[in-house]
A and B are shown apart, each in its own frame.
Chain A
Amino acid sequence: MKLKKIALGSAVLLSAAVSSFSAQAADTIKIATEGAWAPFNYIDDNGKPQGFDVDIAWALCEKMDVECKVVTQDWDGLIPGLKVRKYDAIIASMSITEERLRQVDFTNKYYSGGLRFLAPKGKSFDLDNLDGKVIGAQRATLAAQYLEDNYTGNATLKFYDTQDSVYLDLLSGRLDIVLSDELPTYDWLKTSGNGGDFEFKGESFKKEDEIGIAVRKGDKLKEKFNTALEEILADGTYEKINAKYFPFSIY
């Protein structure tokens, strides 16, 4: 009897908690970003997320006329967190890939990426054959996957939790060469103060790489985001944000 009462009581409590949670979710949209991928998303001196992704997020929220909250989450926990409803969308420069599409839905692209190798100036590489070299990339990224698919032969692959750690080990000389997304690396070469000793190797590839906003499978939020995306592209808001970070269009 007593057990039944407790069970009933906790069921009531639980349903109350769930309904208050979903009520809250209707009012505000929680958006997750990584916060370690300058200039697309990073944490500023005040501890607030900033960058291209975050600016896009705020612009979209304004168009959708909803209240938003931007939270940060480690890169390889982003999709698992979305699936368990810790937040409602991921705007974190995430490439739309087949593997990810099995887990989540993506909106239309909000910019286009591309991969490119980065290494110290003066050293030359045969990019088709990196045998014996140590190649670094951030774990769970398109670059890491590309390396796993194409360079597992005699090259050593090293995967890092953040892109910043990849740069650190390139600086220390533990890595011979790095594969990463071209745009953030372009920014790193220009702004980090260490860029002088490094340069891109070869041309960028995987230009078909499209970056989208991830939402849970079947979530109507996807259409809302798409509409808002069209609006900011049409009225010049996107262009303004783009110009803040890159002197060329990245769409």
Chain B
Amino acid sequence: MDLDFSVVIEYFPRLLTGMWTTIELVILSIVLGAIVALPLALARISKNRWISSLPFAYIFFFRGTPLLVQIFLVYYGASQFEAVRESFLWPVLREPFWCAIIAFTLNTSAYTAEIFRGAIQAIPEGEVEACKVVGMTKTQMYRRVLLPRAFGIVLPAYGNEIILMLKASALASTITLLDLTGMARTIIARTYTPIEIFVAAGVIYLAISMVVIYIFRLVEKRQNRYLGSLSIKVPDKG
């Protein structure tokens, strides 16, 4: 099989347009996802069952069903109902971009909430007790100690989630969005050079991942500099 990589050069500008759509999708859904995830995580930790059961169900649902199904439900499912098509939501829901953002945000916020919860609960009991001893209110404790501490612990797992989101964003191509994968498939439809174009798209995905990894390494180094070494030692709880 002979490969012809000149098509990659010819279509590179179009692949880059796709790349920007991918980056927009990932950044927006990650930011919105984090905003939704924080209250979810805090409610999930609550010992009050009335408060913790709703986030539990939310996380259970969005982690337990495939993202592809969620995207299809938002994009093709919602539009089946005339009530939706006539509501004020339609200008948003008719756009594939916003449907993708909605599905990605819901999905990633479920995962992120669990990551946040894990980080908050990984803080040693002693530090919580110390806060109480000096008379901090619950809000002060979270703002001054628990959340900043959790931020340091959360970084490696959270970086992972962003990279997973980057790759999951390829599913946007199934609802007509021309993200990197959608653009690659549209180009291939014309050139019939799947290997060359998909290799090029793969390299671009790798490059974005590398940037994400690099940024997270910098932030981790800065955030956890008080620990004195690159790796954080997660203390035993007991």
Contacts and interface: CB of A to CB of B under 8 A. Distances in A.
B85 A172 contact: yes
Interface residues of B, number: 17
Residues of A contacting B: mostly = helix
A160 B72 CA distance: 13
A37 to B, nearest CB: 16
Contact of A174 (B79, B186, B192): B79
B141 interface: no
A109 interface: no
B89 interface: no
A103 interface: yes
Interface string A129-148: 00000001001100011001
Contact of A161 (B85, B96, B174): B174
B44 interface: no
Interface string A51-86: 000000000000000000000000011011001100
A100 interface: yes
B79 A99 contact: no
Interface in B161-195: 174, 176, 185-186, 188-192, 194
A83 B189 CA distance: 15
A99 B190 contact: yes
B227 interface: no
B76 A102 contact: no
Contacts of B190: 99, 145, 148
Given A139-B185, A173-B85, A80 B174 contact: no
A198 to B, nearest CB: 16
B94 interface: yes
Nearest to A160: B176
7 closest A-B pairs by CB: A140-B189, A172-B79, A158-B176, A103-B192, A80-B194, A174-B94, A168-B76
